[in-house]
Amino acid sequence: MPSRRRRSFLPRRRTLWIAFLLAPAALIMTAFVVWPLLSALRLSFYSFNGLRPAGFAGLENFRQVLIEHPFSDWTYNALFHNVVVFLALMVFENGTAFLLAFALLKALPGHRVHQVIVFLPVVLSAVVVGFLWKLLLHPLFGLVNQSLALVGIGAHAWLGDESTALGSIILANIWHWLGFPTLVLLAGMQRIDKEVLEAARLDGAGDFKLLTQIIWPLIAPSVTIIYILTFIGSFNWFELPYIMAGLTGSPGGSTDVLGLYFYRTAFGSTTTGIQDFGQGSALAVLMFILIAGVTWMALRILRRREADL
């Protein structure tokens, strides 16, 4: 009898113990993630009288940010830039990271130093990186223009010209984060059984064939992580454009992204205008749906791809 009672008691005690351990994290998540999400969802259905909710407004805030000029223009302009950022990071940041990871895998002389150099900027804060690149790209005193002047190329306002501003910030972002996908992909490559790689070599596979037909399929789980993180990072992008181009996404909204547009709509700006929590919450909800929806779909597709490969 006692031993039976003990058997039935143990799992319950274990469950309670696990619940006890999870409780602090669950409380923090509820207070700082779930509650703000639900709160933003609720506020997105309200119009505001100044800073207080004035009444239920149905889908009016969503209509404004999706259909009504000029708000809708600003929404689609910002969204377009997020898409550009995502594509640029996928091609240039992750593409370079893949090649760099392969180069590091080959353990060429000095690869350990290079590994540290590539990863070093990742530990810097976005604020530091933003200010650093703002200085480098300064039209009058910046190192970039000074260097170009040495080869006879005239000064350019990298962050002041609509055609180069977003590209310049993307470049700074790539410099900042390149080490992260490099490290993740390198870890994925290092997990591949060496015998597989050696067998491919013995079969006469060159670097290109090795990369495309052996390594690429075998690091699929790492690639999935990088895809997803790049997507989330691109659509939550805020710090670098905020520091390098300001809250209005200057010049002329050419660097505006959803994060900036949401922030200045919800919280206003001393120098541009007033706060609208309703419209801001609607933007936040749309961003959440977009990011969560695409991430969920992408994960399904990429996981299936992993299985196929």
DSSP letter assigned to residue 154: P
Burial class of 158 by CB neighbour count within 10 A (0 to 12, 13 to 18, 19+): buried
Count of residues in the chain: 309
**How far, in whole angstroms, is CA 172 from its chain's centroid?**
14
Residue 121: closest CA among 56, 58, 175, 52: 175
Closest distance of CB 229 from other proteins, Å:
28
What's the CA gap between 244 and 59, in Å, rounded?
A: 34
Query: Which part of the chain contacts other proteins (CB under 8 A), choosing from 30-38, 108-116, 172-180, 272-280?
Result: 272-280
DSSP letter assigned to residue 47: E
In the stretch 103-142, what mask flags binding to other proteins with x, by CB under 8 A?
Answer: ----------------------------------xxxxx-
Burial class of 141 by CB neighbour count within 10 A (0 to 12, 13 to 18, 19+): exposed
What's the CA gap between 178 and 119, in Å, rounded?
A: 7
Figure out which of the listed residues 118, 126, 144, 159 binds other proteins, where binding follows CB under 8 A: 159
Closer residue to other proteins in complex, CB, 20/141: 141
In the stretch 186-225, what mask flags binding to other proteins with x, by CB under 8 A?
Answer: ----------------------------------------
> Tokens representing 113?
């130093």
In the stretch 21-50, what mask flags binding to other proteins with x, by CB under 8 A?
Answer: ----------------------------xx
In the stretch 50-89, what mask flags binding to other proteins with x, by CB under 8 A?
Answer: xxx---------------xxxx------------------
User: Which chain residues interact with other proteins by CB under 8 A?
Assistant: 49-52, 68-71, 137-141, 145, 154-162, 246-248, 250-253, 264-265, 267-276, 279
